[in-house]
Amino acid sequence: MVDVSSVNSTRLVDLFAKVLAGGTHHLIRRGFDRGYLAFAEETPGMRGKIDFSSSLKKNLLARGQARCEYEELDYNVLHNRILKTTLERLSLAEGLDTKLREDVREVLRWLRQVDSVRLSSQIFRRVQLHRNNLYYAFLLNVCELIYDQLLVDERSGRCRFRDFLRDENRMNRLFQSFVYNFYKLEQKEFRVAAPRIYWQASPETEEAAEYLPVMQTDVCLTKRERKIILECKYYRETLQSSQYKQTVHSGHLYQLFSYVKNKELDEGWETCEGVLLYPTVNQTLDLSYDIQGHLIRVKTVDLNQSWRQIKRNLLTLVGM
């Protein structure tokens, strides 16, 4: 949808502005979505249906008028309002490239008929997309990400972009989502899911059962003859350091081993594999172990390379 190769800046606010302005240009060429919205007005003519209760209460009929309610196709639907409000906030963001700020303001002129809306985390859940306007989904995801990261000064209206690259929890979720969706979209051999694994345990009481932690996988790749449990770990340090040497994070290895051992009792999972996948930081890792009949690997993927090479590395990881 958007070619971001021309963005010379490494600032995320510039990248998101480029994506959102370019995506809105795409909508302009395609045509903004419209939807039926409810309107009401006091009029001497007939339109839609008459609200007799309000008309009688205000004595409108005696004056030759009536309160009418009707629906009309309009651009002022919620997804357009969210898009406009996000673009308005971006246009006021500190540090935004001058050319990109002009691009954002240019596409805003095409949304003059659309009202702004007060953004909240809940309002994104209220958007209802269907087959004919599903092309809005990506841009609304970008809008929600921008909403999460823009700090708005209520007095001046200026916005400051909070860099989530420093937030390890957010980046871990982003890395996990990237790997999951990569395998979902870029290959057809494996079925991709993220199922829970249940403890092979027999709690002595119902209360004890409730205290067992959930084993929620990041990515599971399955086909008839092969099963892979892939755990994504986004850390500043790929290895843990002790007094004498560096080793694999013990907690990560224990976690993955618990997954494969509890899953091995399911039919077809007797020799399932496990992978700990990290983004490359200071060194490249390609470690393999046979642990009680399970192949366990610790791998890194260098995200600071071309997309084609990243794709090749991730497909090679699962033997493709």
Residue 56 has a pLDDT of 76
Q: 185-240, pLDDT tens digit by residue?
A: 999 999 999 999 999 999 999 899 889 988 999 999 999 999 999 999 998 888 88
132 lies in the same domain as 162: yes
136 lies in the same domain as 150: yes
Query: Angle 187-188-190 (CA atoms, 0-180°, nearest 5)?
Result: 95
Domain count, the chain: 3
Residue 73 has a pLDDT of 80
Answer yes or no: are the C-beta atoms of 232 and 277 closer than 8 Å. Answer: yes
Which stretch of 64-73, 113-122, 218-227 has the lowest confidence by average pLDDT? 64-73
41 lies in the same domain as 84: no
In a domain, 3, yes or no: no
Q: 12-36, pLDDT tens digit by residue?
A: 788 889 999 999 998 999 899 888 7
Answer yes or no: are the C-beta atoms of 82 and 128 closer than 8 Å. Answer: no
Residue 10 has a pLDDT of 63
Which backbone phi and psi does 163 adopt, to 5 degrees? -80, 105
175 lies in the same domain as 64: no
189 lies in the same domain as 307: yes
Which stretch of 80-89, 90-99, 109-118, 171-180 has the lowest confidence by average pLDDT? 90-99
Residue 48 has a pLDDT of 67
Q: N- to C-terminal Cα distance for the chain?
A: 28
Mean pLDDT of 57-85: 82
Q: 145-162, pLDDT tens digit by residue?
A: 888 887 766 666 666 767
Mean pLDDT of 132-147: 90
Give the contacts of 274 (CB within 8 A, at least 6 positions apart): 228, 229, 230, 231, 256, 257, 259, 260, 294, 295, 296, 297
Q: 225-245, pLDDT tens digit by residue?
A: 999 999 999 988 888 887 778
192 lies in the same domain as 133: no
Name the average pLDDT for the chain.
87
In a domain, 162, yes or no: yes
**CB atoms inside a 10 Å sphere around CB 116:** 14
CA distance 216 to 262: 12
In a domain, 7, yes or no: no
Residue 36 has a pLDDT of 78
Report the percent of the chain where pLDDT is more than 90: 54
In a domain, 2, yes or no: no
In a domain, 1, yes or no: no
Give the contacts of 76 (CB within 8 A, at least 6 positions apart): 37, 113, 114, 115
Give the contacts of 217 (CB within 8 A, at least 6 positions apart): 194, 195, 196, 197, 229, 230, 231, 259
238 lies in the same domain as 284: yes
133 lies in the same domain as 176: no
Give the contacts of 102 (CB within 8 A, at least 6 positions apart): none
**Bridge partners (DSSP) listed for residue 299:** 277, 286
172 lies in the same domain as 242: yes
206 lies in the same domain as 147: no
Domain that holds residue 130: 12-34+76-166
Would you call 296 helix, strand, or coil by DSSP?
strand
116 lies in the same domain as 193: no
Local structure of residue 131 (DSSP, 8 states): G
Scanning the chain, the segments in alpha helix (DSSP H) are 12-30, 52-57, 78-91, 98-108, 136-149, 168-186, 206-210, 250-263, 307-317
In a domain, 131, yes or no: yes
- This prediction's pTM: 0.66
pLDDT surpassing 90 at residue 53:
no
58 lies in the same domain as 29: no
